C-alpha cells in the first residue's frame, strides 16, 4: 500500500509544490476576484461573471462572432452560445447577420449591455487595484506583459 509520502511525491514534484505552483495561485486569485465582483456588484445588476467578461470583450471590440469571443474568454463555443442566448434575453447583446457574409452571425452590445458594464466596472476596477496595490508600477507592467506572453503561448499550443 502506498504511503501518503510516496503518493505526495509522485504527484507533487519538488518544483511544483503548492507554494510554487503558479497555476494554482493564478486560479485562486481569479476565483477570489470573481467572487468579490459577484458579491459587490454583479448580483445587484443581475449579470454573471461570464456576462461581465463578454460585455468587457465586446466593449473593446464590438461585433465579434461566437468563436472569436469563446477563444478570447477561454470558453467552448457551445457554452458561449448559451451564454449569449441568456444575454439576449436580458437585452445585453444582440446577434446580427454579418453584412459581408450571411453565414456568419456577430454579437453586438446593446445600450443596456453598455450600461450594465458601466455600472459593474467601478467595482471591478477597485478589486483589480486592490489586488495589484502590493506591486510597484513597474512590477504591475511586468506582470501584465508576462501574463499576456503566457496567454499567447498557451493559445498557440
Tell me the average pLDDT across 48-53: 96
- Note whether residue 20 is domain-resident: no
Q: Is residue 26 part of a domain?
A: no
pLDDT of residue 6: 54
State pLDDT tens for residues 98-148: 888 888 899 999 999 999 999 999 999 999 999 999 999 999 999 999 999
Total of domains in the chain:
1
Residue 13 pLDDT > 90, yes or no?
A: no
> 38: which DSSP letter?
I
- Answer yes or no: is 18 within a domain: no
Note down the domain range covering 63. Answer: 31-156
Integer Cα distance of 78 and 2 in angstroms:
42
Residue 103: inside a domain: yes
pTM (two decimals)? 0.83
Provide the pLDDT for residue 11.
Answer: 62
Q: Assign residue 150 the CATH number of its domain.
A: 1.10.10.10
Strand partners, 95: 107
The residue-averaged pLDDT of 79-95 equals: 97
Inside any domain, residue 40? yes
d(CA 47, CA 59): 16
The answer to whether position 21 is within a domain reads no
The residue ranking higher by pLDDT, 63 or 21, is: 63
- Decide if 1 is inside a domain: no
Flag whether 9 is in a domain.
no
Amino acid at each position: 500500500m502506498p504511503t501518503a509520502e510516496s503518493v505526495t511525491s509522485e504527484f507533487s514534484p519538488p518544483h511544483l509544490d503548492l507554494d510554487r505552483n503558479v497555476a494554482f495561485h493564478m486560479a485562486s486569485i481569479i476565483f477570489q476576484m470573481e467572487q468579490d465582483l459577484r458579491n459587490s456588484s454583479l448580483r445587484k445588476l443581475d449579470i454573471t461573471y461570464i456576462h461581465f467578461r463578454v460585455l468587457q470583450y465586446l466593449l473593446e471590440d464590438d461585433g465579434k462572432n461566437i468563436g472569436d469571443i469563446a477563444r478570447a474568454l477561454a470558453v467552448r463555443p457551445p457554452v458561449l452560445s448559451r451564454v449569449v442566448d441568456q444575454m439576449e434575453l436580458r437585452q445585453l447583446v444582440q446577434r446580427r447577420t454579418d453584412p459581408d457574409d450571411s453565414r456568419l452571425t456577430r454579437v453586438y452590445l446593446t445600450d443596456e449591455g453598455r450600461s450594465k458594464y458601466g455600472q459593474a466596472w467601478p467595482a471591478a476596477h477597485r478589486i483589480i487595484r486592490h489586488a495589484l496595490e502590493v506591486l510597484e508600477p513597474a512590477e504591475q507592467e511586468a506582470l501584465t506583459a508576462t501574463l499576456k506572453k503566457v496567454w499567447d503561448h498557451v493559445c498557440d499550443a
